[in-house]
Amino acid sequence: MDFSFTSDQENLRTHLQELLGAVCPPEYAERCDQEARPPREAYDALGKHGWLGLNIPTEHGGSGGSAIELAILLEECGRHFEELGMWVFRTMTYGGYAVARHGTAEQKTNLLPRVARGELSFCFALTEPHSGSDAAALTTRATPREGGFAINGQKVFTSGMDISDYCLLVTRTSTSEKKQAGITNFLVDTKLPGIDVRKIATLGQRAIGTTQVFYNDVTVPASAVLGEIDRGWEAVDAYLWYERLCLSAARTGAATAAFDYALDYAKNREQFGRPIGKFQAIAHKLADMRVMLDLSRMLTYRFAWLLDQGKATRHDAAVLKLYTSESYKAVSDMGLQILGGYGYCMEYPMQRFFRDSRLAVIGAGTSEIQRNIIARGLGL
Ligand SMILES: Cc1cc2nc3c(=O)[nH]c(=O)nc-3n(C[C@H](O)[C@H](O)[C@H](O)COP(=O)(O)OP(=O)(O)OC[C@H]3O[C@@H](n4cnc5c(N)ncnc54)[C@H](O)[C@@H]3O)c2cc1C
């Protein structure tokens, strides 16, 4: 068993830290959050330097990196600005990974080199108003129409739809007793007539944010189908495992940034004539935070390794998602407490981690659903 990174992987991290330190410093992340504007300059810089092609095969213009290298990229993005990590992971999962895994030769040739060059953005639309945790109960319908399909229905919480070129849209193409059957995935051009996008105001994740999307008789060509008709659920499952790795890496990075800020504050803020970090109540919080970060990182890179080996299981993905997101929430909460009244002020960054981390235990499968998966694996 070897827990070390290779020297190439260490170099990747160093390069990323230098690039992100220059294009995504803390003031930039704060500004994007306050002004509710996407970190476009940082995203473009990553694209220009080829990072968005990290997980794309070399024959399609990428660098064919491993899941461990992907986790390094997302951990560093998250450490600089979680929402940058969210944008990067959506494109790399729903543009890079999904197209490379299930795309036709034409889709791969058309899309992958452009994703690798940072020219395209992707988002993902699974959740609907009446199907959240029970995601396979979705009803957005794709009906065959001459030369393609007509799409009708409604999605909610499609994050980044307004800044994406394509949406990986999960639809129902037939109905049977088993709700996971009859599902088909499409790569939909987000600017097609009949698509109506409305922004949803949220507690956190404000820079990119999320949207409600109405599909009113949207015509898509047959070439927009990704994978097999009626058999798309298995693919969605694979995308969600990949997403869990990406989210966990980015959120472990964001939790690390919250921890670093709180540690520095505890060393410098004095009360009763000494730094507050010298009080055991504060020092123990920081010790607990540090343990959570160590475990989050270990679980993240273990899962990346398991994915690379083709050995990852549903249980591993659920443990990873549950632990890293609950830890991020706990670390941000304790960080806010360490800053006292200043933690509650909008001009200090801790409130952003606190707000953003609240989504971690809800989005992409709530903590309750992750516990259900783990419990089912135990025969309960
Ligand atoms: C800001 C934001 C961004 C998002 N981005 C995206 C996106 O880009 N694409 C996308 O498709 N979706 C996205 N989502 C949707 C997200 O994945 C869902 O919100 C989540 O899966 C929960 O679904 P729900 O909100 O309908 O809650 P519900 O499913 O209605 O759940 C409500 C509560 O009941 C609990 N519950 C439900 N069923 C069970 C059960 N069987 N056992 C125990 N407890 C249960 C839940 O854990 C939760 O606490 C986003 C959500 C938000 C808020």
Instruction: Give me the chain's average pLDDT, please.
Output: 97
Atom of ligand 1 nearest to the CA of 204: 1
Fold of 124-231: Butyryl-CoA Dehydrogenase, subunit A; domain 2 (2.40.110)
In sequence order, the 6+-apart residues with CB closer than 8 A to the CB of 167 are 94, 122, 123, 124, 125, 158, 161, 187, 188, 190, 213
For 188-342, where are the alpha helices, taking DSSP H only?
233-268, 280-309, 314-338
Atom 4 in ligand 1: residue holding the nearest Cα = 157
Give the residue among 83, 158, 90 at the shortest CA–CA distance from 122: 90
- The pLDDT of residue 2 is 87
Give bridge partners of residue 152 from the DSSP assignment.
141
> Does 186 score more than 90 pLDDT?
yes
Rg of the chain over Cα atoms, rounded to whole angstroms, equals 21
Class of domain 234-377 (CATH, top level): mainly alpha
Give the Cα separation of 159 and 87 in Å (integer).
9
Tens digits of residue pLDDT in 85-101 = 999 999 999 999 999 99
pLDDT band at 1 (very low <50, low <70, confident <90, very high): confident
Atom of ligand 1 nearest to the CA of 200: 1
The structural domains of the chain, with segments of one domain joined by +, span 7-120, 124-231, 234-377
Tens digits of residue pLDDT in 137-169 = 999 999 999 889 999 999 999 999 999 999 999
Atom 1 in ligand 1: residue holding the nearest Cα = 210
| Ligand 1 binding pocket, CB closer than 6 Å | 124-127, 132-133, 157-159, 202, 205, 210, 359, 362-366, 368-369, 372
Give the residue among 201, 198, 192 at the shortest CA–CA distance from 165: 192
CA of 197 to the centre of ligand 1 (A): 20
Give the Cα separation of 259 and 22 in Å (integer).
21
Check: CB of residue 359 under 8 Å from CB of residue 204: yes
- The pLDDT of residue 311 is 97
pLDDT (average), residues 212-224: 98
| Three-class SS state of 129 | coil
Give the Cα separation of 80 and 376 in Å (integer).
36
Model confidence, pTM: 0.96
Class of domain 7-120 (CATH, top level): mainly alpha
